[in-house]
C-alpha cells in the first residue's frame, strides 16, 4: 500500500466538509483531515500536519480563501492548493490562479470531480473544468483593448473581499478588525468600491453588496 496523501480541508460548512472527507477517504491513496473554518485555523493545521494538498473554500468564516492561497504560495510553495467555491467561476477562477492556486472546482460539481481534481493537482497539473479553460483561453487570446470587464471585475482582490464582507452585514470597524487594518483604510476601500461600481451613496453600496452576496450578481447604476 502506498503512503496516503494527506488532504487538508478548509471549509466552514461542517456538513459539506464531512461529506467531502468521507468521499476522499474512500480512496486508497488519500486521507482527508482538518477542521479549519478560517485562514488562521488553516495555518495552524498546515504548520503542524504538513499536508500534501489543501482544498480551500473561497468564502470562509470571517476570512477569505484567496488570502490562504497567497499565504501558502509565500510560505509553503511546495503545497498545492485546490480552490473550492460556489461562486461564479469566471470571476474567481482567474483570481485564484493568479494568487497561486493549482486548480478551481465549483461546489456543484465537487462530489463528482473532486477526486479527479486532487489526483490531477498532485501530479503537478492544473485542474479546471472545460468551461473555465475555454473562458480563460478566450480571454488570453483577445487583444487587451477588446476585453470587456464587468463592474465587479474592476475590483482588486482586497476591494472584493471588503465588498463581500459589507454584503454579509459587517460594519467598517468589524471589517477592519478581521482584516487587521485601520478603519481609515477600510473607508478608503469603500470609496474605491463606490467609484468603480458607480455608486453614489453608502446606502447604495450596502444594497449592492447584499444583493451580490445573495445572488452572485452585481446591480449598479452602470448600464
CATH number at residue 80: 3.40.50.2300
Whole-number pLDDT of residue 219? 65
Q: β-strand 59-60 against 63-64: which pairing, if any?
A: antiparallel
Whole-number pLDDT of residue 89? 66
| Spatial separation of the C-alpha atoms in residues 24 and 105, rounded to whole Å | 15
Is residue 199 exposed (0-12), middle (13-18) or buried (19+ Cβ within 10 Å)? Answer: buried
Q: Which of 112, 140, 168 is where one domain is finished?
A: 140
CA-wise closest residue to 51 among 111, 10, 109: 10
In a domain, 221, yes or no: no
Determine the 3-state secondary structure of 189 from DSSP: helix
Q: β-strand 59-60 against 30-36: which pairing, if any?
A: unpaired
Domain count, the chain: 2
Q: Which of 95, 114, 140 is where one domain is finished?
A: 140
Is residue 165 exposed (0-12), middle (13-18) or buried (19+ Cβ within 10 Å)? Answer: buried
Determine the 3-state secondary structure of 31 from DSSP: strand
Whole-number pLDDT of residue 146? 41
Same domain for 155 and 116? no
Same domain for 132 and 159? no
Whole-number pLDDT of residue 154? 85
Beta strands in 79-223 (DSSP E): 81-85, 103-106
For residue 71, what are the domain limits?
Answer: 5-140
In a domain, 223, yes or no: no
Q: How crowded is the C-beta side of 167, counted as CA atoms within 13 Å?
A: 20
In a domain, 220, yes or no: no
Same domain for 156 and 136? no
Residue where the block lists cell 461562486? 87
The structure's pTM equals 0.76
| Spatial separation of the C-alpha atoms in residues 130 and 41, rounded to whole Å | 33
**pLDDT tens track of the chain, all 223 residues?**
468 999 999 988 888 889 999 999 999 999 998 878 888 999 999 999 999 999 999 888 677 888 899 999 999 999 999 998 876 666 788 888 989 999 998 888 878 889 999 999 999 999 988 877 877 777 666 555 444 567 787 898 899 989 989 998 999 999 999 888 999 999 999 999 999 999 999 999 999 999 887 777 776 444 3
In a domain, 11, yes or no: yes
Cβ atoms of residues 7 and 55 within 8 Å: yes
Nine-digit cell at 133? Answer: 479553460
Nine-digit cell at 58? Answer: 473561497
Whole-number pLDDT of residue 185? 95
30 phi and psi angles, rounded to 5 deg: -130, 150
Same domain for 102 and 167? no
Amino acid at each position: 500500500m502506498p503512503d496516503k496523501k494527506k488532504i487538508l480541508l478548509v471549509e466552514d460548512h461542517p456538513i459539506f466538509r464531512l461529506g467531502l472527507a468521507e468521499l476522499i477517504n474512500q480512496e486508497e491513496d488519500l486521507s482527508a483531515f482538518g477542521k479549519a473554518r478560517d485562514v488562521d485555523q488553516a495555518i495552524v493545521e498546515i504548520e503542524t500536519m504538513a499536508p500534501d494538498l489543501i482544498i480551500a473554500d473561497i468564502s470562509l468564516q470571517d476570512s477569505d480563501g484567496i488570502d490562504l492561497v497567497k499565504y501558502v504560495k509565500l510560505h509553503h510553495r511546495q503545497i498545492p492548493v485546490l480552490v473550492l467555491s460556489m461562486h461564479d467561476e469566471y470571476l474567481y477562477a482567474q483570481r485564484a490562479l493568479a494568487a497561486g492556486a493549482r486548480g478551481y472546482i465549483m461546489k456543484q460539481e465537487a462530489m463528482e470531480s473532486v477526486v479527479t481534481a486532487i489526483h490531477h493537482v498532485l501530479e503537478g497539473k492544473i485542474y479546471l473544468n472545460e468551461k473555465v479553460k475555454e473562458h480563460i483561453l478566450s480571454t488570453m487570446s483577445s487583444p487587451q483593448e477588446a476585453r470587456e470587464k464587468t463592474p465587479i471585475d474592476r475590483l482588486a482582490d482586497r476591494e472584493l473581499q471588503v465588498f463581500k464582507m459589507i454584503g454579509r452585514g459587517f460594519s467598517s470597524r468589524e471589517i477592519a478588525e478581521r482584516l487587521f487594518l485601520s478603519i481609515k483604510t477600510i473607508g478608503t476601500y469603500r470609496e474605491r468600491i463606490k467609484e468603480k461600481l458607480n455608486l453614489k451613496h453608502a446606502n447604495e453600496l450596502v444594497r449592492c453588496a447584499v444583493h451580490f452576496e445573495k445572488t452572485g450578481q452585481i446591480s449598479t447604476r452602470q448600464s
